[in-house]
């Protein structure tokens, strides 16, 4: 590769701090490399540095960060998205050619849309999670952010491959994602689905117009547009925030002030544990731990967690049926362009709704990408989401590359 790549601050790089943008990991130095870091080193990439994020990847604006907020390069008064806001902002600002992020409920695609770059969420199991600080283990995926679809494809190819250190890693051949993207921009023979459920009530009219214009453009490239339905997607936010918080509650139990990181003394281990976590975790992380513990508790497990898992299966089945009709799905990434810093910090539920169009792909385990498809009247980027079936990265990359090469939105740069 030989290119500089920025690293989201939840991936372990041997000898470097790994804070997850949290006070509780103060003083922690990674003792080993994450598998994706090993793969980057072997490919000759230059590890440029670590970039900011929402604490433990819990957030959609990179404002839930102990290390300070990150601004959107297109307008410094607006958020870059999250949780991989630093990963997207540094690429958009030309501080890095590419970066690594993680996507649990949209955390690569949403900041890519807000910052006007390309972000890919691979199929669950395509990229090893070994060395990623876990948020929700059945949802987390590591992926690339870059300026173009082809750059993202080349980096994705480097990251993929079976890893015995990750039990969810799939053993299958890695396609030549980058080399397979040619100058041929025809989409003839491809069927692209348009789900009515993704054009939600309250969507910014400029976002809807940009996405529908992109759909028409793909039609002009030869694709057949098929109306499809994903009826259970309307439950995705509720299902996601039950399952993700339940898994976070378990995963974050290891941060106790005893083994590593911040330690606040107490008269006994229980007090030490309580004081350390109270001082070390931010408000949003505490909120999600409490919610996750609640839905797993006796008397509520069946009513919430078990039921959410059943609906997750219905969401996955919806995608399975839709991909019998089409090769990929076109949809918005977010209901609005990037909003102002501080606009949603006092209303967590409003922030959670930012993920309404991205969480279904995570719950189903499918691949998806975001790429620029226009700008708002305020000069803020708008993203197009392309969702594929499991292990259908080649299809979504082909569609994205064809659209990108025949438009030019990706060539625009913020004035800094």
Task: Per-residue pLDDT tens, the chain, 416 aa: give them.
Answer: 789 999 999 999 999 999 999 999 999 999 999 999 999 999 999 999 999 999 999 999 999 999 899 999 999 999 999 999 999 999 999 999 999 999 999 999 999 999 999 999 999 999 999 999 999 999 999 999 999 999 999 999 999 999 999 999 999 999 999 999 999 999 999 999 999 999 988 999 999 999 999 999 999 999 999 999 999 999 999 999 999 999 999 999 999 998 889 999 999 999 999 999 999 999 999 999 999 999 999 889 999 999 999 999 999 999 999 999 999 999 999 999 999 999 999 898 999 999 999 999 999 999 999 999 999 999 999 999 999 999 999 999 999 999 999 999 999 999 98
User: What's the CATH number where 246 sits?
Assistant: 3.90.1300.10
First-residue to last-residue Cα distance in the chain: 27
Left, alpha or beta for 68 (phi > 0: left; psi -120 to 50: alpha)?
left
Judge whether 248 lies within some domain.
Answer: yes
Instruction: Write out pLDDT tens, residues 375-413.
Output: 999 999 999 999 999 999 999 999 999 999 999 999 999
| Angle between helices 149-159 and 35-42 in degrees, nearest 10 | 110
What is the domain count for the chain? 1
Provide the token pair at 215.
């759909």
pLDDT given for residue 212 in this prediction? 98
Judge whether 273 lies within some domain.
Answer: no
Judge whether 189 lies within some domain.
Answer: yes
pLDDT given for residue 151 in this prediction? 98
| Tally of helices (H runs) and strands (E runs) in the chain | 12, 10
- Which residue segment(s) compose the domain that 148 sits in? 4-254+282-411
Judge whether 271 lies within some domain.
Answer: no
Q: Where are the beta strands (DSSP E) in 178-310?
A: 191-195, 224-228
Judge whether 363 lies within some domain.
Answer: yes
CB-count exposure of residue 130 (10 Å: 0-12, 13-18, 19+): buried
Burial letters for 64-77: b for 16+ Cβ neighbours within 10 Å, e otherwise?
A: bbbbebbbbbbbee
**Model pTM?**
0.97
Judge whether 99 lies within some domain.
Answer: yes
Side-chain half-sphere of 385: how many Cα atoms within 13 Å?
32
- The residues that are catalytic are 8, 83, 107
Residue 129 CA to residue 142 CA, distance in Å, equals 7
pLDDT given for residue 2 in this prediction? 82
Residue 331 CA to residue 311 CA, distance in Å, equals 21
Contacts of 268 (CB under 8 A, 6+ apart): none
Judge whether 277 lies within some domain.
Answer: no
Judge whether 246 lies within some domain.
Answer: yes
pLDDT given for residue 416 in this prediction? 87
CB-count exposure of residue 27 (10 Å: 0-12, 13-18, 19+): exposed
């Amino acid at each position: 590769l030989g290119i500089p790549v920025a690293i989201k601050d939840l991936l372990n790089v041997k000898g470097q701090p790994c804070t997850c943008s949290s006070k509780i990991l103060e003083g922690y130095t990674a003792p080993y490399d994450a598998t994706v870091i090993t793969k980057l080193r072997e490919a000759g990439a230059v590890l440029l540095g670590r970039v900011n994020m929402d604490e433990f990847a819990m957030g959609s604006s990179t404002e839930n960060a102990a290390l300070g907020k990150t601004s959107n390069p297109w307008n410094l008064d607006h958020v870059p998205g999250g949780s991989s806001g630093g990963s997207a902002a540094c690429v958009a600002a030309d501080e890095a050619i590419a970066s690594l992020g993680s996507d649990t409920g949209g955390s690569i695609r949403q900041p890519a849309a807000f910052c006007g770059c390309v972000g890919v969420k691979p199929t669950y199991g395509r990229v090893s999670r070994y060395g990623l600080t876990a948020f929700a283990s059945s949802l987390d995926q590591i992926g690339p952010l870059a300026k173009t679809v082809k750059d993202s494809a080349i980096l994705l190819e480097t990251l993929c491959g079976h890893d015995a250190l990750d039990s969810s890693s799939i053993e299958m051949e890695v396609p030549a994602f980058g080399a397979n993207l040619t100058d041929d921009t025809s989409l003839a023979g491809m069927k692209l689905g348009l789900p009515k459920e993704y054009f939600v009530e309250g969507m910014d009219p400029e976002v809807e117009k940009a996405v529908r214009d992109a759909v028409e453009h793909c039609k002009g490239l030869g694709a057949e547009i098929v109306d499809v339905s994903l009826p259970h997607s309307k439950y995705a936010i509720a299902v996601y925030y039950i399952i993700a918080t339940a898994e976070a509650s378990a995963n974050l139990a290891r941060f106790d002030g005893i083994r590593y990181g911040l330690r606040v003394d107490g008269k006994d281990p229980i007090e030490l544990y309580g004081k350390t976590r109270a001082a070390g975790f931010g408000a949003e992380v505490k909120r999600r731990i409490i919610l996750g513990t609640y839905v797993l508790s006796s008397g509520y497990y069946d009513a919430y967690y078990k039921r959410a898992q059943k609906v997750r299966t219905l969401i996955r089945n919806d995608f399975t049926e839709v991909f019998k009709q089409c090769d990929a799905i076109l949809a918005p990434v977010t209901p609005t362009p990037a909003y102002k810093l501080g606009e949603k910090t006092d209303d967590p539920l409003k922030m959670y709704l930012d993920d309404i169009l991205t969480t279904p792909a995570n719950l189903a385990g499918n691949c998806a990408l975001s790429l620029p498809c226009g700008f708002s009247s305020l000069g803020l980027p708008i993203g197009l989401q392309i969702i594929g079936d499991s292990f259908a990265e080649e299809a979504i990359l082909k569609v994205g590359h064809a659209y990108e090469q025949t438009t030019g939105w990706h060539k625009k740069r913020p004035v800094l």
